[in-house]
Structure 1
Amino acid sequence: MKTIPNITLISAGCSITGDIIVDHGISCFGLCDGGLMSTQGLLHVGEGGLIKGSAQGEHVRIDGRVDGNVHARDSLEINGQVTGDIHYCGTIRLGPRAALNGTLKRLARMLTIEVESDPAPASPSDTRPAAVASVDRGDSNVTEISRAKA
């Protein structure tokens, strides 16, 4: 039986307030004002993507910007900008455009995922609902999140 990978895609122009936790891969090309966590698979912050909070994943690739701490349980590749502490367990690869402002620390393999709780959640400034749709990408199962047109 063939396993179809699951990926959640946050499109460019989409703005999400709050933490996102997925049990599969996620790619962010928009704004996430909160933490972004993938329990397995790839967590990708694409070019133009911005995470204002922590980013945690098994495999983490940053081509955009993260304003917060980064935790990679296996591999970490940075081609973008990180302002915050970086904790990684496996390999790290810095590209020619990598910009780091924080500490870099290699740790023993983390067995658990840290869930940061926000004691006072911020109220969203945009109350329009995000649209979630399944998009056929050939051999993959992709969920795309994009801002609904008002």
Structure 2
Amino acid sequence: MKTELNITLIARGCAITGDMVVDHGISCFGLLDGGIISTQGLLHIGEGGLVKGMAQGEHVRIDGRVDGDVHARGSLEINGHVSGDIFYGGTIRLGPRAALNGTLKRVARMLTIEAESEQEQASIAAPRSSETAGVGHSESNVTEISRAMA
């Protein structure tokens, strides 16, 4: 049985501008000027890595720096620096070099990262019902967590 390992690597010295969404693991040792979402696997911000935006994933490990909110559905390990709010649904571990500047909040694991379904996309085109009219949240495929926090 062949097992494929899918991972995206942002190497040291590499700089990417814009948001990234991947359906597998990702390791960032460079600069990402934008948000990053990993829907499966490990999201690792390595030592020397910098994310200037939101970081979201199933399992998140931060050894570098995130200047934005962090969302982890499963495990979260911080041994780097986070300037933003932290939302976690499973376990959290703070290492000896962890530095946090924001709030820490446990959320339900059911609030998951998932792309919009066709039904949700159809509801965007349809007029909003009276119960959602006036509610100011943008329709995107970012996360249910983000929508819950809006």
TM-score band by shorter chain is 0.7 to 0.9
Unaligned runs of 5+ in 2: 114-140, 144-150
Aligned AA (2:142): V
User: Which letter maps to 2:9?
Assistant: L
1:100 alignment partner, SS class: strand
Corresponding residue of 2:49: 49
Does the alignment pair 1:115 with 2:136? no
SS of alignment partner, residue 38 of structure 1:
strand
* Dislocated runs of 4+, deviation >6 Å: none
Which has more helix, going by share of residues?
A: 2
Provide the identity percentage: 81
What's the RMSD between the two structures over aligned residues?
A: 1.2
Match of 2:29 in 1: 29
Q: Distance in 2 between matches of 1:91 and 1:2?
A: 31
**Larger strand percent:** 1
Instruction: Return the index of the structure with the highest Cα Rg.
Output: 2
- Equivalent position of 2:75 in the other structure: 75
Q: Which residue of 2 aligns with 1:134?
A: none
Structure with more relative contact order (C-alpha pairs < 8 Å, separation 6 or more): 1
SS for the counterpart of 2:40 is coil
| TM-score relative to the length of structure 2 | 0.75
User: Deviation at 1:79?
Assistant: 0.3
Distance 2:46 2:38 in 1: 15
Query: SS at the partner of 2:43?
Result: strand
The offset of 1:26, in angstroms, is 0.1
Report if aligned partners of 2:73, 2:112 keep a CA contact under 8 Å in 1.
no
Q: Deviations over 1:29-52 (max 9, x none)?
A: 000000011000000000000000
Q: 1:25 Cα shift? A: 0.2
1:99 Cα shift?
A: 0.1
Equivalent position of 1:100 in the other structure: 100
Which structure 1 segments of 5+ residues have no match?
A: 117-150
CA distance in 1, matches of 2:110, 2:49: 26
The reply to whether residue 59 of structure 1 matches residue 30 of structure 2 is: no
